Chains A and B, each alone.
Chain A
Amino acid sequence: DTAVSQTPKYLVTQMGNDKSIKCEQNLGHDTMYWYKQDSKKFLKIMFSYNNKELIINETVPNRFSPKSPDKAHLNLHINSLELGDSAVYFCASSQASGQKGYGYTFGSGTRLTVV
Chain B
Amino acid sequence: AQSVTQLDSHVSVSEGTPVLLRCNYSSSYSPSLFWYVQHPNKGLQLLLKYTSAATLVKGINGFEAEFKKSETSFHLTKPSAHMSDAAEYFCVVSGAGTYKYIFGTGTRLKVLA
Contacts and interface: CB of A to CB of B under 8 A. Distances in A.
| A associates with B | yes
Interface of A: 31, 35, 40-45, 48, 50, 55-56, 90, 92, 94, 96, 98, 100-101, 103-109
Contacts of A101: 32, 49, 51-52, 94
Given A41-B106, A101-B51, A56 B99 contact: yes
Contacts of B17: none
A100 B97 contact: yes
9 contacts: A42-B103, A90-B44, A100-B94, A101-B49, A101-B94, A103-B36, A104-B44, A105-B46, A108-B42
6 smallest A-B Cβ distances: which pairs? A101-B51, A108-B43, A43-B103, A106-B44, A103-B46, A101-B32
Given A35-B103, A50-B99, A100-B51, 4 more contacts: A44-B103, A56-B99, A101-B52, A105-B46
Contacts of A42: 103, 105-106
A22 to B, nearest CB: 15
A61 B106 CA distance: 25
Contacts of B105: 40-42
Given A101-B49, A101-B51, A103-B34, A90 B43 contact: yes
A109 to B, nearest CB: 5
A45 B101 contact: yes
A48 B88 contact: no
Nearest to A35: B103
